[in-house]
Chain A
C-alpha cells in the first residue's frame, strides 16, 4: 500500500518522524507546533489532520480532537483517495478509540475497504475494528473475504473463531458450527492444517457438536502430530473417548498418561472415573464453575458388584505399581490415589471403613512433614463421621509420637497434627484452659524452633510460621467463647510478634487486618492491607478483605482511593481487552481468542465491579451532601446514575460473576452475611471454608444489595427534584412529574426486600409505631431507614398527605422518618459501649445512619426549604407569615430539630471517647491482658512472648535477636488506641459538618 501511494499518508517520512518522536516523548506542545506546520503545507491531508487530533487528544482536548478527526474522515470520504492508506486509518483509529468512538473508526475502514477491494492490509484493519466492537458476525464476514483473497489457514481460522464466539454468546448456533466444520473440512482437503492451535479449534468444533468419533479420527490421523507434547494429545484423546462413552479405552489412555506423569492427580481422577464409569465431569448436564472445575464424584458407581470389585482391584494394583516405581521420588499422587479408591469403595457401599482411615494413615506416615499434607487430604477428612475424625486424629497422634525423625520434619509433623485438629474442629469441644494450653504450646513451639531458621535468607519462609496463624485462630475462638477482649488482643500480639521476626508473612497480615477491622482500628487494617501490595488483578480477587468494612467506616478518603484504584484497573482492562484479543488472532493462538473474550465478559459482570461503581457514586454524594448545590451538580450529570440503574436490571443481576478468591479468609472473618464473633458461641459448629466460596445465600444476597444500592443515587436525585419542583411556596403540592419515577424506583427498592411497595411501607410504619422492633429489620436496617426517607419524599409530592396507618388515620411521613431515626440512633446510643472495649459494636451502624440516612433526609429538607423559603432573586411574593404557618414548613422545622438532636447524641458518644487520655485507654486495654498475674485467662500467651523476647541466646542468630529488641507489646496497644482515635475523629468530623448544616438550615428558616 505504502509503496503504491507513497510514504506516511502521502507525506514524506522525514516530515512526520519528528512529530511522532515528540509525541512519544510526551512533548505535546512542540508536537502540536510541528503538526500545525505540517498542516499548513498539507492542509487537506487526512493523515496530517489525524496526527493533530492525536496530539490534541493527548493534551486533554477531546472535543477539538473529535472535530478534527471528523474533518479528516470527511476528507477521506470525499478527497482524492490517494491518501487512504492504513497508516492514516490506523492513526485515526487510535484517536477514535481513545475518544470512545469505535463506530467512527469502523466506518472509516468500512469505507476504505469498499473503495479498495481485496486490499488485505485494510481488511485486517477492518477485522480489528470489529474485534474491538465485539461484532462477531462482521468479523466472520471480513475474515471469509480475506480467506477468499489469499486462502491462508489463519484467515479461515479467524472466521471459525468468530463463528465459535457467535455460538458462545448467542443462542441457536448449531447451524453455524456445521458451517465452521464444512469450511475447515474443505480447507483440509486441499491444504491440510499446519498450526497446532488450528487443530485444537477443529477438534473443539467437532466436540461441540458431539462428533467425538470424528474428532478422535482427526487426532489420530496425520494432523495429530501437530500436538508435539504427547501427554497433551493423550489428555484430549481421553476426554473425547470418555465423552463418547468409551470408558474402557478412555481409562487405558488415562492410565498411559499416569505412566508418563505419575503425579498427575487430575488424570488419576479421570482414570478412576472412566474405570468405574461414574465420572461426572464429562456429563453435559453438569455445569461446572470454570473457576472450580473438577469436583469429586459423589454418586456411587452403577457397575455390578462383581465388575466393580474387579475394576477396583485393577486400580489398586495399578496404583501399587506406580507407588513402587516412583518410590524414590517425592511423588504423592499414587498414595493419594489409594485414599480416593477407598473413598469410592465406601461410596459404593462396599468398603471396610477402616481401609479409608488406613489409607489416610499411610499418607500421613509418608507425607505428614509436608506443608501441603492437610490441604491434600482435606476433601477426604471432610467426609468422615465425627467419630471417625476423632479416631483418625488419635491414630495420627500415635504415629506422630513414635516416629523418629529430624527436628525439621518433626516440626512439620507437629504442624500437620495441629492443622488436622483445626480442620476437624476438635478444639471447639475442648475446655477453655486446654485451648489456652494449646495456644501456648504452639507459640512455644514456634519460638523453640526459631533457631532452625537462623541461617535462612530473610526472604525465605521460616520453619513453623503456620503455628502463629493457628495460635491466632484459637485465640479468636477463645474470644468467641468467653467474650474476653484480652484473647483478641493476644491474637494481635502473637501476629505482630511474628511480623517483627519476619515482616513478609502475608498470612499474618491478613489475619491482623481482620482483627484490627473488628476492633474498629480501620487505619491499621488499611495499612496492613497496603503492605500486601494488592494490585492489578488481585484488586478483583482479594479486595474483599478490606472493601466491605471500609464501605461502612468513616475513612471516606481512603475508601475513595481504594475504589478509584480498583475501578481504574477494571476500566483500563476493559478498554485494552479487545486489542489483546486481536494479538491472539495475529499470533494464531485461536483458543486464546475464545478464552480472552469469555474472560472479558466474566470481569465485566463482576459483582464487585458493579458494586464498586454504585458505591463510588454513593460515596461522592456522601462527600458533597453538606453542600446542596454541589450535590445537585453531581446529580444533574446525566451519566451519573442512569448507568447504575441498568445494573439492577434482572438480566444484569442474573449474569453477575463472583471472582473473589476466598481461600485466604480465616473462618471467623466477618462477611456481610455472617459475623460469627457477634453471635453467641454455638458450641462447636465449625465454619467450612468452602461454604464461603459456594454459598448460594451469599450470591443471592449480593444480587439484592446491588439491586438496592444501584437505585440509591437516582432515588436521591428524584427525591430532591420532586420536593423542590412540586412544592409551592405556600406549602401546597403542585402537579408533579417526578413522582411516578420515584414511585417506580421505590417499588423496585421494595422488591429487593421481597415485598410490594405497600407492604414495605407498612413495615416502616409498624416499626415507627412500635409494633415492630428495629431489631426485627436485621442487617438490612440501614436500607430500611433509607427507604423510609425516600418514602417521605414520595408522600411529599403526592396529594395524599402522610401514610395511612392501621387505624385508618394518616400519619405524617415526616414524623415517621423522625421517629425511625430517633429509634435507630438516640435510643441505641444510650446503651452504646465505647469501641475501645466493645469490638464489633455500633460504630459502623452509626456511621451509616449519619452519613447516609441522615444525609439523604437533610438533602430532602434542603430541597423543601428552597421551595418554601426562596432566597435572593428567586424570592416569590409570599409573606413570611404564610410560610411559617405552612404545615409542611412546620414538619420540616421539627425534622431539623429532631435530626440535630440525634446527631448531637452520637457526637456526645464520640466526644466522650475522644476525650479520654491516650494513656488511660492504653491502661484499660492492658488491664484485659493481666500482664502481671497470668495463671489463667488472657496474659499467659503474652507472658511467653515477653519471656522469649528477653532472650539473648546466641543460638538464635543476630537477626532474630535484633528483632526481639524492637518488639514492644505496649507499642502495639498504643497503635490500636491511636487507630481507633483516628476513626472516631473522622466520624466526629462528619457529625460536625451535619450539625453545622442543620444549624444553618434552622437559621435560614428563622431569618426568612
Chain B
C-alpha cells in the first residue's frame, strides 16, 4: 500500500516514527535540504493509508567517467511497515532513476560492517561488497562499500571487489 512520491519538506515534520529507530540518523537541516535542492529525484518517500509515512530513501548521483554512479545515502522503513519488501521497492526506484534517467554505471552504498541484517538484505537485492573502508563510522567501525552494476556497465567492471581495504581519506566521494 505504497504511494511512492518525491520527499518534500513537510515530510520532515511527519517522519518521527521512522526516525525514532535507533539506526536511522536524523541529519541536520542543511543535509536534507541540500539533497532536496540538488537531487530531488533521489529522495523519495513511501506513504500509506491515512497519510502515514512508511519509509523513505535519500540518495544522489555523482562521479566522473566510469565512476558516474547513484548513491544511497539512507534508506529506512518504519517498524510497523517492515517485512513487506518496502526497502526493496525504494531501492529499485533509485536504481531505476540512476539507470534510466542519469545513465549511471552503478549504484553504491555504505553499511556498518556489523549490520548483518542490512548487509544480507542488500545482498538479496543484488549488491556485492566492493571494498571495506576502515574505521569509516566515526573513526571506529568499518564500513562496507557495496555496489550493484547498472545496464550501462555491460562488463560489470564496477563491481569487481577490491583486494585490499581502504581508509576513509582514500574515498573518492564522501
Chain A residue, CB-CB nearest to B101: A228
B81: chain A residues at CB < 8 Å are 371-372
Whether A589 lies near B38 (C-beta < 8 A) is: yes
> Is B116 close to A, CB under 8 A?
yes
Number of interface residues of A (CB under 8 A): 65
Whether B116 lies near A457 (C-beta < 8 A) is: yes
Interface code B127-154, partner A: CB below 8 Å = 1, 0 otherwise? 0000000000000000000000000000
Set B2, B17, B40, B116: member contacting A265, Cβ < 8 A? B2
Of the four ranges (under 10, 10 to 19, 20 to 34, 35 or more), the interface on chain B belongs to 35 or more
Whether A504 lies near B117 (C-beta < 8 A) is: no
User: Do A457 and B1 contact each other (CB < 8 Å), given the known contacts A376-B48, A540-B13, A595-B9?
Assistant: no
Chain B residue, CB-CB nearest to A573: B29
Whether B14 lies near A661 (C-beta < 8 A) is: yes
Nearest chain A CB to B96 CB, angstrom units: 8
Interface of B is mostly: helix
Task: In the complex, identify which listed stretch (B49-57, B67-75, B163-171) lies at the interface while the others stay far away.
Answer: B49-57
Give complex CA distance A294, B85 in Å. Answer: 25
Whether B21 lies near A506 (C-beta < 8 A) is: yes
Set A459, A532, A577: member contacting B20, Cβ < 8 A? A532
B30: chain A residues at CB < 8 Å are 576, 580
Instruction: Give the residues from 216 to 267 in chain A that come closer than 8 angstroms, CB to CB, to chain B.
Output: 228-229, 261, 263-267
Whether A537 lies near B26 (C-beta < 8 A) is: yes
Chain B residue, CB-CB nearest to A506: B20
> Is A375 close to B, CB under 8 A?
yes
> Is B160 close to A, CB under 8 A?
no
Whether A375 lies near B80 (C-beta < 8 A) is: yes
A572: chain B residues at CB < 8 Å are 29
Chain B residue, CB-CB nearest to A583: B37
> Is A378 close to B, CB under 8 A?
yes
A375: chain B residues at CB < 8 Å are 48-50, 52, 80
Whether B10 lies near A265 (C-beta < 8 A) is: no
> Is B156 close to A, CB under 8 A?
no
Whether A659 lies near B29 (C-beta < 8 A) is: no
B54: chain A residues at CB < 8 Å are 372
> Is A894 close to B, CB under 8 A?
no
Whether A293 lies near B28 (C-beta < 8 A) is: no
Whether A537 lies near B2 (C-beta < 8 A) is: no
> Is A292 close to B, CB under 8 A?
yes
Chain A residue, CB-CB nearest to B78: A372
Instruction: Give the residues from 21 to 39 in chain B that come closer than 8 angstroms, CB to CB, to chain A.
Output: 21-23, 26-30, 32-34, 36-38
Nearest chain B CB to A538 CB, angstrom units: 5
Whether B38 lies near A536 (C-beta < 8 A) is: no
> Is B157 close to A, CB under 8 A?
no
Give complex CA distance A263, B4 in Å. Answer: 10
> Is B92 close to A, CB under 8 A?
no
Give complex CA distance A457, B83 in Å. Answer: 15
Whether A460 lies near B1 (C-beta < 8 A) is: no
Whether B1 lies near A376 (C-beta < 8 A) is: yes
> Is A290 close to B, CB under 8 A?
yes
Nearest chain B CB to A60 CB, angstrom units: 23
Whether B13 lies near A659 (C-beta < 8 A) is: yes
> Is A332 close to B, CB under 8 A?
yes
Nearest chain B CB to A433 CB, angstrom units: 32
Interface code A762-795, partner B: CB below 8 Å = 1, 0 otherwise? 0000000000000000000000000000000000
Binding site for B on A (CB under 8 A): 228-229, 261, 263-267, 290-294, 330-333, 336, 370-372, 375-376, 378-379, 457, 459-461, 504, 506-507, 510, 532-538, 540-542, 569, 572-573, 576-577, 580-581, 583-584, 587, 589, 591-592, 595-596, 598-599, 602, 659, 661, 663-664
**A-B CB contact pairs (8 Å), 14 listed:** A291-B13, A291-B14, A332-B1, A370-B84, A375-B49, A375-B50, A532-B20, A538-B19, A538-B26, A542-B16, A580-B34, A583-B38, A596-B36, A664-B16
Q: A292-B51, A372-B48 are in contact. List 19 more A-B contacts (CB 8 A).
A: A263-B1, A264-B3, A291-B13, A294-B51, A333-B2, A371-B83, A372-B81, A376-B1, A504-B21, A533-B26, A535-B26, A536-B27, A537-B12, A537-B13, A537-B29, A542-B20, A584-B37, A659-B13, A661-B16
